[in-house]
Structures are given as structure tokens and as C-alpha cells.
Amino acid sequence: MIELKNVTKSFRTGNTRKTVADNINVVFPTGKIVGLLGRNGAGKSTLMSMIGGSMSPDSGRIVTRGTVSWPVGFAGSFHRDMSAAQNTRFIARVYGVDSEELLDFVYDFAELGAHFYEPIRHYSSGMRARLAFGVSIGIPFDTYLVDEVTSVGDAIFRRKSRLVFMSRMMNAGAIMVTHSMGQIRQTCNAAAILEKGKLTYYDDVEEAIETHHRNMGTGEEA
């Protein structure tokens, strides 16, 4: 369970201040897969960062019960001069999971071959993304924070990513950002809309999608 209590966050842009979270009070129930909807620039990534603990609200607080992942697939915290294997071992120690078990999972999942033991500064963006997703999903969390989780790699790899993700969802929940309404329908059993700093939670996914389209002034094709 994740509860936002009077959460407010804003940023200064030029001479104005943009509020992306305006006194938000919302509960994300345990075990739900929640699709997070909102227009570009609404603050979805900022909200995910606050829930994940990498950014603090200006006021209010976020209460979590159970473990929460960092944004799945985020590669920004890797040490560029360390290999994928070394980074994986380090992360395993930080999160208190079995190093060898995580290492075996990530090696098999990321499909990096011999590059797995080379410094990641030599990796392409796709290789880093596959590594990041493998490490993220290889650690069991109660709630996963997901941003376009199956968009990495070719069709075969995207299918594999989706299957692994859905396997995790049998015993966990997620907050998921995606621009695909089809993916929201297929994956999520609840939704939330961030619009003008306000976050509204919906148990009915279709109602959320319809509301999102009205907010955007678009039809079903958006």
C-alpha cells in the first residue's frame, strides 16, 4: 500500500512556477496494477520519483507499506566503469538479495553475452536498457514502478519482458506509466489520472481512459 498525504510539488520555470502535485491525497492499494495517465508534462515521472524516494515533495508525505522498486529500467545509477556483473553484485548487496541468484537471472535475461563482464561505458543505449530492466525486475518488490516497461529491444525481447513482468505481477503490484491504452486495458486493474496537479484514482479502468481522452480532447485513437 502506498498513501500520498497532502503531497505538493512544484518547479520554477522561468518567471513562473509550475505545480505538478497540488495537495494530493490518494491511496494505491496493495497488489493493484495501476495505470498512471496524464498529458505530456503533467508530472507523471516526478510523481513516480517521489513515490520511489529519489525526489522529495515540497510538503506532505508518502507512506509505504512493503518494498517499492526504483523506476524499472532506469539505468542512471549504474557505475560506468564497472561491468554489468559488478553492478549487479553491488545492487544485490544493497537490496539484501542473493548475489549469485540475481547475477544468473540478469545474465540470462539481458542477453549481453561476453559484454556482461565489460565496463558498461562501452554499451549501447539498448544494452544498458536491457541490463537495467533485468536488474530491476530480477529483485522481488511488493510494488514496481514502471515506465514503458516493454518498449525496450526487438519484438522478441519485448515479449519476453512482458512475460517476466506479468509473472512478477502474480505476487506484486505496480504503478505503470504508458501511452498505450491497449496496454493499460491488458495489464492494469485500476488507473489514476494526473491532471493540473490533481491525482484521481479509478477502480474502473475504462472510466479512467474515457476521462483521460476527454481531458486530452482526443478520441480512442490517442
Phi, psi of 90 (to 5 degrees): -65, -45
The helix (run of H) or strand (run of E) holding residue 142 is: none
pLDDT score of 221: 46
Q: Shortest CA distance to 206 belongs to which of 35, 1, 44? A: 35
Give average pLDDT by consecutive 10-residue segment, the chain, 222 residues.
96 88 95 94 92 93 92 77 95 93 95 94 88 90 81 74 88 91 91 96 96 84 44
**β-strands 16-28, 2-13 pairing:** antiparallel
Residues 6+ apart with CB under 8 A from 141: 66, 67, 68, 69, 172
pLDDT score of 180: 87
pLDDT score of 153: 64
pTM: 0.85
AA letter at 83: S
pLDDT score of 22: 96
pLDDT score of 189: 94
pLDDT score of 222: 43
DSSP 86: H
Return the residue matching grid coordinates 505476487. 171
CA gap 133, 75 in Å, rounded:
8
DSSP helix/strand/coil, 87: helix
Integer-rounded Cα radius of gyration of the chain? 18
Residue 31 sits at the vertex; the CA angle it makes with 28 and 35, to the nearest 5 degrees, is 55
AA letter at 109: F
Which grid cell sits at 100? Answer: 549469485
